[in-house]
Structure 1
Amino acid sequence: MPQIVVTIDGRTYRMACAEGEEDHLVGLAADVDARVAELRKSFGEIGDQRLTVMAAIMASDELSEARARVAALEAELEAVNGKRENASRSAASGREVLVETMNGVSEQIERIAARLERGR
């Protein structure tokens, strides 16, 4: 299992991760570090633990908003798929009606043609 070292708020942390996830974990740590730095800039020295908790809450809030957006998009996609399926069924039904109508018209033309041939 690979191990990486990340720095958050000037402190280094050694972490294990799954193979191939190293860059992703480094990026996440950089995001947390940036959030802590932003909070430190805004609020000053209010304590490392408090800054870390605030950064975690900010990230959790963004995740919550993203989850809500994903849920809304999934619901919208489900509705669109339902409409698409209804339209597909309607189109298939319309094709059946058209085929039946065309068959009926064809039969009438054949009857007319037969009468015309007999009338010759």
Structure 2
Amino acid sequence: MTSPNPWLLLLLAISAEVIGTSCLKLSQGFSRPLPTLVVLSAYAISMTLMSRVVQVLPMGLTYALWSGIGIVAIVLIGLLVYRQVPTQGQLIGMALITAGVVTVNLQGHPG
């Protein structure tokens, strides 16, 4: 049996983290049971998957992708679901983060 593709696991870890973070507002400070369960479960899944990914991919690359993609996804969800419109400065910051993630990926990893 082959090991799962670490890139797929990373994408799933990012997705789980985004789901958990997106539900934080709905949990109302962990006072609503169902959204709280979603948050905690999603974070547990994300961390479990990340622990597997860093066994194969470089930790710095993994974290750069996880955080960069997660930031952009959360801002998009904030915009679409919660109607939280980012400022021009925030958009510039996210563009810089995205450029950094792309640069990290284009450079490959030593090995």
Q: Which structure is larger by alpha-carbon Rg, 1 or 2?
A: 1
Q: Which has the higher contact order (CA 8 A, sep 6+)?
A: 2
On whether the aligned pair clears a TM of 0.5, the verdict is no
- TM-score if structure 1 supplies the norm length? 0.29
The answer to which structure has the higher strand fraction is 1
